[in-house]
Amino acid sequence: MYDKPLQTYETRLPSRPTPTWALVLINGIVALGLGLLFLVSPSATVKVIMRFLGLFFLVGGFFSLFSIALNSKHWIWKLIAGLAGIIGGLIVMEHPMWSALLADATLVFVLGILGLIIGCAQIIQAFGGAGWGIGILGVIFLGFGLIMLLSPLVGAALLPFVLAIFGIVGGIIAIYIAFRMRREEKVSA
């Protein structure tokens, strides 16, 4: 009686490959660019990034206040979030370097703890048979974490350069992965 297979919504849609490799490529280019900017001009890059962060807080604060007119449920929390976003955004935009110092101190502490955790985990993996390469990385992460926690001023001073290295290396790796994804996509198509 029915000689056609049952069609669902998904089978009627034309299948188009999603260009995820392009998103990875863009991410890699941006990371590489930010890494180079942190390396060439760390203070100017920090100022620009903090101004964008301030603008983000400011716009988010206005959206929170505007959302009260659309939906008044939990209006007090929206009002508090909106005012905090606007005040915080204005402070960060007016004093980007002061804000960067506070952000640096917090980030140095968080990166120090992460360095200790990652370093210990990688050293344990190395003794478990994962290889000496991961063990060396574990020791580097452990040393990095200890420096950040024991000497936060040195960590804060080195943070733009550490971010530069992470941006450059991460950007190059992401660009490589993007081209590899593209090549594999062409082969499978």
- For 68, what's the count of Cα atoms within 13 Å in the CB-facing half-sphere? 15
- Structural tokens at position 143: 């040393």
Q: Please tell me the total count of domains within the chain.
A: 1
The better pLDDT of the pair 130, 121 is held by: 121
Q: Is residue 161 within 8 Å of residue 148, measured between CB atoms? A: no
The percentage of the chain sitting over the pLDDT mark of 70, rounded to a whole number, equals 83
Q: Does residue 4 belong to any structural domain of this protein?
A: no
CA distance 80 to 96: 23
**Which pLDDT tens digit goes with each residue over 147-180?**
778 877 777 777 777 778 878 888 888 888 889 8
Q: Is residue 68 within 8 Å of residue 85, measured between CB atoms? A: no
End-to-end CA distance of the chain: 35
Q: Does residue 120 belong to any structural domain of this protein?
A: yes
User: How is residue 73 annotated by DSSP?
Assistant: T
CA distance 40 to 28: 18
Q: Which residue shows structure tokens 């508090």?
A: 80
**Which pLDDT tens digit goes with each residue over 91-101?**
777 776 666 66
Q: Is residue 156 within 8 Å of residue 112, measured between CB atoms? A: no
Q: Does residue 92 belong to any structural domain of this protein?
A: yes
Q: Does residue 87 belong to any structural domain of this protein?
A: yes
Q: Does residue 99 belong to any structural domain of this protein?
A: yes
**Which pLDDT tens digit goes with each residue over 51-80?**
787 788 888 888 888 888 888 887 888 888
Has this prediction a pTM greater than 0.85? no
Q: Does residue 12 belong to any structural domain of this protein?
A: no
> Could you list the residue range(s) of the whole structural domain that residue 29 is in?
20-188
Q: Does residue 11 belong to any structural domain of this protein?
A: no
Q: Does residue 88 belong to any structural domain of this protein?
A: yes
DSSP letters spanning 35-56: HHHHHH-HHHHHHHHHHHHHHH
